[in-house]
Amino acid sequence: MKKTVLVNISYYVEIDESEIELSPNIQNKLCENRTIESNEEKVFLKWNQSSFQVLNPETINCGECANCGCWTTDREKNDAIFGIDNGAVHNNKLLCDECLPPDHRWAF
């Protein structure tokens, strides 16, 4: 018996500010059905949706981890962003789930 599984994948893309309006070209190239091999079996991936969001720490709940530099969102705030690593402010620094102390609620 087969079940349908939703797989979400996120990419980070560095785009020059002057070229942000061209970003739908990148998005369109990712929005295609694909067939991959898994365990010597072909699996059909049917594209469903995609989104594009400029990460701006001044206007949305995101920032780079003060320790490792990966993008993260503060899960302790109501406006956490789905698709970015979980994180939180610890000792006045935004840290991702990998860099938070092991006993922290949002640590990985």
Convert the pLDDT of each residue in 90-105 to its tens digit: 999 999 999 999 999 9
Q: What is the pTM of this model?
A: 0.78
pLDDT confidence of residue 8: 84
Amino acid occupying residue 30: L
What is the CA angle 65-13-16, rounded to 5? 105
Q: Does the pLDDT at position 63 exceed 90? A: yes
Provide the β-strand partners of residue 89: 94
Sheet containing strand 93-96, edge to edge, reads 63-64, 71-74, 85-90, 93-96
